[in-house]
Homo-oligomer: A and B are copies of this chain.
Amino acid sequence: MSQQEIPYKIYLSEDEMPKYWYNMRADMKKKPAPLLNPQTLKPVTAEELEHVFCKELVKQELDNDTREIPIPQEILDFYKMYRPSPLTRAYCLEKKLNTPAKIYYKFEGNNTSGSHKLNSAIAQAYYAKNQGLKGVTTETGAGQWGTALSMACAYLGLDCHVYMVKVSYEQKPFRREVMRTYGAQVTPSPSETTNVGRQILKEHPGTGGSLGCAISEAVEDATTHEGYRYVLGSVLSQVLLHQSVIGLECKTAMDKYGIKPDVIIGCAGGGSNLGGLISPFMGEKLRGEKDYQFIAVEPASCPSLTRGVYAYDYCDTGRVCPLQKMYTLGSGFIPAPNHAGGLRYHGMSGVLSELYDQGLIEARSVVQTDVFEAAEAFARVEGILPAPESSHAIKVAMDEAIKCRETGEEKTILFGLTGTGYFDMYAYEKFNDGKMTDFIPSDEDLKKSFETLPKV
C-alpha cells in the first residue's frame, strides 16, 4: 500500500484488539535475575510475595516461560472503553521537519487518567477483586498512576488508598481531586496513619515526602489491613506484561498497512511504557525473525541506563520491597527536580535492564529544556499537548527525523506518546517564561549514591 493511503490515525476494530498479553521473558534466552527477599537476600518465594501482592499477579511476576497470557473478559471489556488507542501518522510533524522519514506515534493519553498507566491498573485491580479483596493500596508521585488506579477501582467497586508524595499533594491539587472524584482515599505522605509515616515525621518534621516513603506507607497499609494488597505501576515484570497491549495493538495496526518500523523509541522511567511498546517487536528480534533499533530515552537528571550500574538494588528507598537486579543509580539517589516526575526513578525494570545489558536496546539521555522545546513544537503542529515524560521520546524521534533529512534516509520511526500534559502546566509555564533550567548529576553525586547499593 502506498504511503499516501495511510490515514492520519489507524484505529483497530474491537475484534482486532489483542486477546492476550505477550510475555517477552518467554523469548529471552538469558532471563532477568530473580527478585531477592530484602531480609534474607535469597530469591523471594511466591508465598512471601503473596503477603504483599495478589496471588495471580505474583504468578505473573514469577512466570518467565509462558509466552501468551489470556486477557480476562472483564479486562477486555474495560479496555474497550478507551482502547484501541490510535496509532497516528505524524504527517504535520514530518512536514514541519522537512524530513523524508515517516513518523508514527502510539498515543496512550486518550483516557481520563491521561496515560498508559490504566492498562496495568485495571489488570491489577481486577485480580484483587477476583481474589475477593476489599481494596488496594499504592503510592503516587506525579499522579498518573494514582489516577489510573482510582479509575479502575471505581469501575470495579474496590477501595483504593493512595499515598501521594506530600509535595505533589500540595502542588498538584487537581490531580488529587481527580482521584477523589473517582472515590479514592488520598493521603499526603508521610502521614500520621502509619508507623513508618509517624517515624519519618518524627525524624524529619516538615518534610515534603518522597516516593520511597510513600511506598513504605502503602505497603504497611496493605499488610496491616485484612483484605488489602499493595499494587505498583511500573518496574515490575507483570506491569510490562500488561503494557504489552500497547505494542500488540501497534504491531497489528502496522502489519495491516504493511509498515515495518526501523526505529522504536520510548521514554523510560521504570520502563512500563517502553517495555510495553517494544514487546512484540522485541519478541521478533529475540527469535531472530526481524531486526529493529530500540531507543530508551531518559532524563539527563536521572540517567539510570546511561550512567548507572547493573546490580542488585532496592526498588524503594524504604527498602521494604524485594531487591531487583537492574540498572540503577542506587536507591539513595535523589533526583534533581526535573518536571518529568514519572521518570525520576533511580532504577529500571529488570527485564529492560537485562535486554539493555545484552545490547538489544540503546539508551540516550536528554536535558529538560530540549525536551520542552520539542514538546512545544510537537504540540503546535500535531495538536496534542504532551506530558513531559512522553516528550522525551518526541525529542529523540525528532532528532532521528532530522538526521534522515541530512542523510536522505526514508526511515520509519515509531515512538510512544504515553500521555497528556494537562496537569503539568506549572512546568510549561516555567518553560514559557524562560525560567526552566537543566540538571545533570556530577560524577561525584553518582559516586555517592552508588555507595547506597547493597552488598549482594
Contact in complex: B174, A425 (CB < 8 Å): yes
- A337 touches B (CB below 8 Å): no
Which residues of the partner chain B approach A9 to less than 8 Å between Cβ atoms?
A: 14, 80
- How many copies of this protein are present in the complex? 2
Contact in complex: B112, A379 (CB < 8 Å): yes
Closest to A152 in B: B383
Contact in complex: B11, A11 (CB < 8 Å): yes
Closest to A15 in B: B7
Contact in complex: B425, A382 (CB < 8 Å): no
Contact in complex: B7, A13 (CB < 8 Å): yes
Q: Please pick, from B77, B92, B177, B428, the residue contacting A428 in the complex, using a CB distance under 8 A.
A: B177
Which residues of the partner chain B approach A182 to less than 8 Å between Cβ atoms?
A: 379-380
Contact in complex: A429, B177 (CB < 8 Å): yes
Q: Please pick, from B81, B178, B382, B429, the residue contacting A382 in the complex, using a CB distance under 8 A.
A: B81
Which residues of the partner chain B approach A183 to less than 8 Å between Cβ atoms?
A: 380
- A82 touches B (CB below 8 Å): yes
Q: How far is the CA of A111 from the CA of B382 in the complex (A)?
A: 10
- A110 touches B (CB below 8 Å): yes
- A385 touches B (CB below 8 Å): yes
Q: Binary interface profile of A, 63-101, with partner B (CB < 8 Å = 1, else 0)?
A: 000000000000001001110000000001000000000
Question: Shortest distance in angstroms between A12's beta carbon and chain B's nearest beta carbon?
Answer: 10
- A181 touches B (CB below 8 Å): yes
Within 8 A of B (CB), among A141-189: 151, 154-155, 173-174, 177-178, 180-183
Contact in complex: B178, A385 (CB < 8 Å): yes
Dominant SS among interface residues on chain A: helix
Which residues of the partner chain B approach A422 to less than 8 Å between Cβ atoms?
A: 114, 174, 422-423
**Which one of A11, A181, A420, A423 has the greatest number of beta carbons of chain B within 10 Å?**
A181
Q: How far is the CA of A384 from the CA of B423 in the complex (A)?
A: 16
- A8 touches B (CB below 8 Å): yes
Within 8 A of B (CB), among A398-455: 420, 422-423, 425-426, 428-429, 432
Question: Shortest distance in angstroms between A145's beta carbon and chain B's nearest beta carbon?
Answer: 16
- A41 touches B (CB below 8 Å): no
Contact in complex: B383, A177 (CB < 8 Å): no
- A381 touches B (CB below 8 Å): yes
- A27 touches B (CB below 8 Å): no
Contact in complex: B383, A111 (CB < 8 Å): yes
Q: Please pick, from B11, B81, B380, B429, the residue contacting A92 in the complex, using a CB distance under 8 A.
A: B81
Q: Please pick, from B110, B173, B385, B426, the residue contacting A110 in the complex, using a CB distance under 8 A.
A: B110
Known interface pairs A7-B80, A173-B425; A383-B112 also in contact (CB < 8 Å) = yes
- A192 touches B (CB below 8 Å): no
Question: Shortest distance in angstroms between A105's beta carbon and chain B's nearest beta carbon?
Answer: 12
Contact in complex: A181, B432 (CB < 8 Å): yes
- A376 touches B (CB below 8 Å): yes
Known interface pairs A111-B383, A379-B112, A382-B81; A425-B8 also in contact (CB < 8 Å) = no
Closest to A157 in B: B380
Q: How far is the CA of A77 from the CA of B89 in the complex (A)?
A: 12
Known interface pairs A7-B14, A382-B81; A181-B420 also in contact (CB < 8 Å) = no
Q: How far is the CA of A9 from the CA of B111 in the complex (A)?
A: 13
Contact in complex: B80, A155 (CB < 8 Å): no
Contact in complex: A173, B429 (CB < 8 Å): yes
Closest to A7 in B: B14
Known contacts A82-B383, A92-B155, A181-B432, then 16 further A-B pairs from the complex at CB < 8 Å, ordered by chain A residue: A8-B80, A9-B14, A110-B110, A112-B384, A112-B420, A154-B381, A174-B174, A174-B422, A177-B428, A177-B429, A177-B432, A178-B425, A181-B379, A183-B380, A422-B422, A422-B423
5 shortest A-B CB distances, which residue pairs? A174-B425, A154-B380, A8-B80, A177-B425, A422-B422
Cross-chain pairs A/B with CB under 8 angstroms, 25 sampled: A7-B13, A7-B14, A7-B80, A9-B80, A81-B92, A81-B382, A92-B155, A111-B383, A112-B379, A112-B420, A155-B383, A173-B425, A174-B174, A174-B426, A177-B428, A177-B432, A178-B425, A178-B428, A180-B428, A180-B429, A180-B432, A181-B379, A181-B385, A182-B380, A422-B423
